Structure 1
Amino acid sequence: MKYKALIFLLLLFPVIGCYAYQIEGVVRISDQWQPKIYLASIQSPENLFVASPEFMINEATIYPDGHFELKGNDLPDDPRFYRLYLVRNSLFALEFSADSTRNFMHLLLTNSSELKLNAGDQKLLFDDVRVEGSPENESLVAFEKAYFQKRHSLTLINTVAKRDFQSQSMNRSIREFVTNSSDAIVGLFALYHIEDRETDFLRNGSFYFDFQERLKAQYPQAMYTAAYDDLLNNLVGYRDLVCEIPRITKPWRSWIIGAEALIIVLLAIWVYRLKSQGSGKNEVDYFGLLTEKERTIWEALAAGKTNKEIAADLFIELSTVKTHINNLYKRLGVSNRKEAIVLYNRQK
């Protein structure tokens, strides 16, 4: 009986001591980073770009040689997205950065995942990390690395038109990756990196519907499948609002169009009245503000005559001409001869 109990305990011990998922490897960090690596759960694909300590589910120490090991037995059995990330020593708040060195990376895990991460020889953090143990994660990590490289190149473009062309090209490459991805969840990860999905959906709606069928075929009960259904419903709602969709006639569409037309008409009337009022206020009889002699001198200035020529024509002293000119400047609200001539030509 004692031997049977001993054998039972020996068999039970490995079960108690084992871990279901395990992520180990090496990451290179500098002194400005905490020697800790964190694992965060992403409940919705929309949270791929949300930084919050509330998502953290595990952490491990990074030893001086860069080695770490994360393990546990509390992940769901269906594949979901998780984030590995690091935190700066100088920050009290969680912050993700991909500008110079990327302090985060994403993985696709289940409760039985066993992955190994190998750091590159040159770059720090997650910029050159390779994943072993899962073809899906190898594809996901390769996509994420290429995406941020292209995203960084976009920031170096200094013209709006070229940046827009490059952004469309990047979206096109993402769609190609999604289409060629054998695992729909990996494709879903890439799809959520498409910039301005509303506009992209208007141009490539069939792509989004085809992917929905793939996702439902591979993961009919997955939480992310329901999340994508919600995304697609929102995109369809946006399309219905801005486009005329065949076989879809909603009562409020004509109301919105009618209201917009009425608003445009009212705005046009309002702008016209403002211009009319403004033009009425700006109509000033500048000739009536001047004496007969000043009007004559203003005409002579507009004709391009000099002060000496004006004095000779009017048989008056040169100093008198200058006095008249200074007076008409004040009456006209100008400060020099050029402004006086421009105003004269405008009054003709």
Structure 2
Amino acid sequence: MDFKKIIALLVFFFAVTASKAQYQFSGYVDAESAKGAVYLSVVDDYRKISGVFPEQILNKTYPDSTGYFSFSGDNLPAENKIYRIHVDMCNENDQNTAHFTGQCPNSKEVNFIANNNDTLTLPFSFDNEMFCLVISKNEKANAFLKIDSLKHDMRFAFGTYRSEANRKINSKKWFSILQQYGEQLHEPLAELYSYSFFSDRAQPLHAYYLEDLKTNSYYDNLLNRLKEKYPNSNYTEQYREELASDKYLIATIKPDGLSWWVYGLGAIAALSIFGNFFFYGKLRKMKSFFPPNKESLSNQEKKVLELILENKSNKEIASDMFVSLSTVKTHINNLYKKLNVSSREDVKNLYSS
């Protein structure tokens, strides 16, 4: 065969091969991890961004004697998505249970952002640690490692002084740091990585997140950035639904103390009591200004009343009316009851005008 034809065939072969294997993710695992399988997973649910989930796994391979492994193909989406490579040291007897719960204590992982055109390598770090470096032409690839570094610094800051005052100060500080750093990366998927951390209900920051959500426009702005860059993505829809749910949650949270309607009823009751006392006092004044009608009195009681108003004594009244002293006392007692008084002075005051 002509040498030029061989060269042409080789060029064609490599071109076809390259077109079918547009992505390549490779790296090294340490000697202990080299005994297990290495998995490539796609993370469509950012709440499952860390862990072992069989439904996410795309491919599986085994490292060679040097710990080197590689994944390649042409079956990934053209847009950026979240991927994970993990090495699984769970034995076969434990895998079903451990993978079902998403946890495997002998698993090591690294998350990154990539697409179907990316070449990505995971070399050992300067201290020979695996999965601590991500090298890629995709500048967004190592965003998660950068955020993990910030989260490490945050945990250290929270652990320095274990007090409520320290927690509040650091909560506000690290919320701002994580949010601003995510925006600076210009990659909404990286922001979702931070969001999934501090909005997690199992995290101590969740209460502060709900409080921050009431006034901070960051969350609505993040939704807009997701809609603009990933309009048809599962990530965007998931975030939109979660944000709406959390906003509904904070809108229905009752403030500490009694409900507003309890205070309202209390105010109405207080006004009612005050009004009763007010009108009762007014009534008393009216009664004192307008003496009771004498028509309720008998003829004898009216005669006794007139003599009392003339300052006559009981004996004088008995003499004037030609009755006994005991009869006068009986008339006076009946008079007091009908006029709602208890003494001669009360009677005189009642009719003094």
TM-score, with length taken from structure 2? 0.58
- The answer to whether residue 134 in structure 2 is matched with residue 130 in structure 1 is yes
One-letter amino acid of the counterpart of residue 209, structure 2: D
Larger gyration radius, structure 1 or structure 2: 2
One-letter amino acid of the counterpart of residue 137, structure 1: A
- Structure 2 stretches of 5 or more lacking a match? 200-204, 266-353
Residues 222 and 89 of structure 1: is their aligned pair in 2 closer, same or farther, counting only changes over 3 Å? closer
One-letter amino acid of the counterpart of residue 139, structure 1: A
- What residue number does 1:213 align with? 224
Q: Partners of 1:124 and 1:96 in 2: how far apart?
A: 21
Residues 173 and 119 of structure 1: is their aligned pair in 2 closer, same or farther, counting only changes over 3 Å? same
- What residue number does 1:26 align with? 28
One-letter amino acid of the counterpart of residue 22, structure 2: A
- What residue number does 1:174 align with? 178
**Matched-pair contact (CA < 8 Å) for 2:42–2:84:** yes
Query: What is the CA distance between 1:23 and its match in structure 2?
Result: 0.7
- The answer to whether residue 188 in structure 2 is matched with residue 184 in structure 1 is yes
Q: RMSD over aligned Cα, in angstroms?
A: 3.8
Residues 50 and 61 of structure 1: is their aligned pair in 2 closer, same or farther, counting only changes over 3 Å? closer
Q: Partners of 2:87 and 2:156 in 1: how far apart?
A: 20
Alignment of 1:275-290 (within 5 A): none
Alignment of 1:196-345 (within 5 A): 196-197=205-206, 199-203=208-212, 204-242=215-253
- Is the deviation greater in 77-86 or in 152-161? 152-161
- What residue number does 2:285 align with? none
Query: What is the CA distance between 1:31 and its match in structure 2?
Result: 2.1
One-letter amino acid of the counterpart of residue 187, structure 1: E
- What residue number does 2:318 align with? none
Query: What is the CA distance between 1:214 and its match in structure 2?
Result: 2.1
SS at match of 2:198: coil
% identity of equivalent residues: 17
- What residue number does 1:52 align with? 53
Residues 69 and 157 of structure 1: is their aligned pair in 2 closer, same or farther, counting only changes over 3 Å? farther
One-letter amino acid of the counterpart of residue 103, structure 1: K
- 1:123-146 deviation line (CA, Å, top 9, x unaligned): 5332x3232322111333222233
Query: What is the CA distance between 1:197 and its match in structure 2?
Result: 4.4
Query: What is the CA distance between 1:174 and its match in structure 2?
Result: 0.9
Q: Partners of 2:14 and 2:66 in 1: how far apart?
A: 31
SS at match of 2:117: coil
Query: What is the CA distance between 1:7 and its match in structure 2?
Result: 7.4
- 1:134-189 deviation line (CA, Å, top 9, x unaligned): 21113332222332453366467654553454344332321121232212222222
Residues 10 and 123 of structure 1: is their aligned pair in 2 closer, same or farther, counting only changes over 3 Å? closer
- 1:170-220 deviation line (CA, Å, top 9, x unaligned): 323211212322122222222222244464243253111122222222222
- The answer to whether residue 107 in structure 2 is matched with residue 106 in structure 1 is no
SS at match of 2:88: coil
SS at match of 1:208: helix
Residues 38 and 142 of structure 1: is their aligned pair in 2 closer, same or farther, counting only changes over 3 Å? same
Q: Partners of 1:148 and 1:131 in 2: how far apart?
A: 21
**Matched-pair contact (CA < 8 Å) for 2:39–2:86:** yes
Residues 81 and 257 of structure 1: is their aligned pair in 2 closer, same or farther, counting only changes over 3 Å? farther
Query: What is the CA distance between 1:10 and its match in structure 2?
Result: 7.5
- Is the deviation greater in 172-181 or in 87-96? 87-96
Number of positions where the alignment pairs a residue of Structure 1 with one of Structure 2: 244
One-letter amino acid of the counterpart of residue 182, structure 1: H
- Is the deviation greater in 190-199 or in 220-229? 190-199
SS at match of 1:103: strand
TM-score, with length taken from structure 1? 0.58
